[in-house]
Chains A and B, each alone.
Chain A
């Protein structure tokens, strides 16, 4: 009796992907048919890779068809693994993971405080967008398992995202994954952690208990697997109920590095209508900023949907920054620069921040608790904000780390 599994995509317009059909048989050995745009330079290696995969999964009788549209090896591996899993009809955890060679980003840690001005969403089941995402220099990439992946492709996306996290070079980008809403998302966490994810974006958060539960699960996986770097969490508030519990959510775990919100779902949930100035989300945005600030984490703005309107995006960024946000989501690479620039302090802000911090240092050296510039007293929160501005300026190379020693 034969059992079939199919994964991937083929056809006109498909790039950097492969369509794999695995038909498991009871006898007859391996029959492998490869049709590839790159067979003239990778024909042998594709055959060897597929043969190695079948051997890894202990399959000795099967007909395998590969229609390759220029998939790089980690993509081809993911598609074969998914096709095999589907043919076997087993759950993710019941089949061994066929992992690619680790790339230069694998194992690189992140930190709670790192800058998250821009995060670029990449559909988790579309390899071609992942390959060069780093060149657009977002602070983070989000490989998405949620809204951009159809329900029937969630399993394929998880395998592909896992392989991308391991094999791809994401350069200096923080590697984030948006999992599915809990409890489904909880099942996705372990392979992602073992693949070195830096931050899990948790959608449709309404309850601090679910974050606590997720955080505990992450801690347990870290302990069990011996993963050394910490995995951070970024909950997304997307409902009125979630908005009312934003503060509890923001404080629910030490793993939470940032808090954000989802505009479209929230607007639908409260029955509001979209306006250009975003009045319908003003309360939510203020709540998210205040919840995040009071919990000592980063408030991050949602995405701007019109990718062609960069002026509108800039306005939206400036509005978000004025409200207290530190970053914004991007759904197209062309948005990244606008967002990065909007959330980067300009020369005037840097100079002002330097003045504040220097005045604070002088005050402290003189045993005073409050600094004064001219006749104006500088409160501690203002000093904290100025210090953070300078940290970002140093991190972006806009200011020398020794700025305070220069000119002495």
Chain B
């Protein structure tokens, strides 16, 4: 594999799974050319005149869709750790004797561990999508045949639209659908909130299969995925467990230390003057990021401030803000709990969105550029404010990127995390994997204090004299190392097992095989 050094000094491949790749040239240096991908032109002549696209089962739908070896098959992750459809899908593919498929999920979760047997047996060649848990371990052990490609939610949808990834068959879990294929996620026993991650797949895949456990009479209202994109509808008993949307990363932390960090974040937002009428914010997944909203809501009440809009992943805490009149609107990419699922069905100001729209870098503007402040987690940050969100400090793929990279385009980006996790320092000399260039990250908040990127003199000025515990990253790092000791340098192999793409589709960094694992 040919590796070159990109603009941030990271070694990256120039070819990924047989396709040329552009090394990251610097923030906002890459300009796309050409035209967007064009889906094939279908004709109604090929579809039932009565509009009934229901077929017997998923296997039949796959057969009718012309599934064959080497195809790219996509799924979405709105059920998060409660997804069962991807498992069922590849079990059927295995039964059909298929090989070398590419799975293109919008994210993978620990529940997808059973797919390892299909990776081992050759049914799945590789996964292009954020990997964590057992699949992350599988990839970093070097056992996956192809290269993992880690894209943000926005970059994934963009890659489909740009033609970088061509989806042969999209299999979409729909909590409600009609026989024509109109679908939504707000109704039915398996309601999971929104289907935004499936939008690009529905629009650009050659064949689209909607799988539902709740077939409703035409028309399925509201129409989130239009039946005009859909080839086949499959009805079955279960499509996933929405209760498992809630996980460790979508629940507010109960740790006093982490709550302290969350409160510091809210104080910073208030004292820096970002919290003002009409402002907007987003909280990423992760206990601290979610908790900050609770403190911020209290401060907004005390100051009589009302937000203009809040971008989800949505939790019950954001729903409460909407219902208490602390924000005019919730704009929702995904539900992080069942209260968010309930809300989007009943609140007119709670609206769904899709990464193709809100996070798309190759578009005529996107939502995230309009946002005042975003609060995110990270696994590591270095002294240049570069951050890592996908790998553990030992190099194992641990988390998906989600919308993390896209959010770095907000006007103020705050990373909130403990300075130490069980003796593992979070502030390091150089991040293990670079996911966010330091010039995009404005503030780092830990239990040891608040570090503001020297590039943001405006923020430094804004909080002067405001009794916030300001510190440099160097000071925090020294404190951590005094307690924990200086970390030893890690070994790594030179074999790339996954590539991290930037929001514009260029290659930001590589994930390397962990020594001794293969």
Contacts and interface: CB of A to CB of B under 8 A. Distances in A.
A323 interface: no
Contacts of A249: none
Interface string B485-499: 101101000000000
A332 B423 contact: no
B488 to A, nearest CB: 5
A314 to B, nearest CB: 16
Contact of B487 (A15, A41, A332): A41
B393 to A, nearest CB: 6
Contacts of A44: 488
A37 B394 CA distance: 10
Nearest to B515: A40
Contacts of B488: 41-45
B356 to A, nearest CB: 38
A333 interface: yes
A369 interface: no
A131 B424 contact: no
A99 to B, nearest CB: 16
Contacts of A136: 256, 260
B189 interface: no
Nearest to B446: A135
Contacts of B423: 16, 37-38, 42, 70-72
A53 to B, nearest CB: 15
Nearest to B258: A132
A73 B422 contact: no
Contacts of A38: 422-424
Given A37-B422, A41-B393, A41-B490, A131 B260 contact: no
A71 B257 CA distance: 17
Nearest to B260: A135
Nearest to B486: A45
A168 B479 CA distance: 11
Given A132-B447, A135-B447, A42 B485 contact: yes
A103 B422 contact: no
B476 to A, nearest CB: 12
A169 B488 CA distance: 23
A332 B393 contact: no
Interface in B461-481: 479
| Most chain B CB atoms below 10 A, which of A40, A44, A167, A169 | A40
A69 interface: yes
Contact of A132 (B257, B484, B485): B257
Interface string B251-274: 000001101100000000000000
A131 B483 contact: yes
B422 A42 contact: no
Interface residues of B, number: 22
Contacts of B484: 42, 72-73
Interface in A8-27: 15-16
B260 A72 contact: no
A333 B424 contact: no
A73 B448 CA distance: 19
Contacts of A333: 256-257, 260
A334 interface: yes
B256 A334 contact: yes
A69 B490 contact: no
A383 B495 CA distance: 76
Interface in B381-431: 393-395, 420-424
Contacts, number: 61
B19 interface: no
B482 interface: yes
Contact of B394 (A40, A73, A168): A40
A40 B479 contact: no
Given A15-B422, A16-B423, A334-B256, A40 B485 contact: no
Most-contacted residue by chain B among A41, A42, A44, A73 (CB, 10 A): A41
B447 A41 contact: no
Contacts of A169: 479, 482-483
Contacts of A332: 256
Contact of B257 (A42, A45, A135, A167): A135
A167 B479 CA distance: 12
Interface in A314-346: 332-334
Contacts of A334: 256, 259
Contacts of B393: 40-41
B424 A72 contact: no
B261 to A, nearest CB: 9
B258 to A, nearest CB: 10
Interface in A105-137: 131-132, 135-136
Contacts of A71: 423
Interface in A324-383: 332-334
Nearest to A103: B482
Contacts of B256: 136, 332-334
Given A38-B424, A40-B393, A136-B256, A73 B447 contact: no
In the complex, which of the residues B259, B421, B485, B487 has the most CB atoms of chain A within 10 Å of its own CB atom?
Answer: B485
Contacts of A70: 421-424
B490 A16 contact: no
A38 B490 CA distance: 11
A311 B393 CA distance: 42
Contacts of B260: 135-136, 333
A42 B483 contact: no
B150 to A, nearest CB: 21
A131 B447 CA distance: 11
B422 A69 contact: yes
A295 to B, nearest CB: 35
A155 B253 CA distance: 33
Contacts of B479: 169
Nearest to A74: B483
Contacts of B394: 40-41
Interface in B14-34: none
A70 B420 CA distance: 10
20 contacts: A38-B423, A41-B394, A41-B424, A41-B488, A41-B490, A42-B423, A42-B484, A42-B488, A45-B488, A72-B423, A72-B485, A73-B484, A131-B420, A135-B257, A135-B447, A136-B260, A169-B479, A332-B256, A333-B260, A334-B259
Interface of B: 256-257, 259-260, 393-395, 420-424, 447-448, 479, 482-485, 487-488, 490
Given A71-B423, A135-B257, A135-B260, 10 more contacts: A15-B422, A40-B394, A41-B393, A41-B424, A44-B488, A70-B423, A72-B483, A72-B484, A131-B420, A131-B483
CB-CB nearest 4 A-B residue pairs = A70-B422, A333-B256, A41-B487, A70-B423
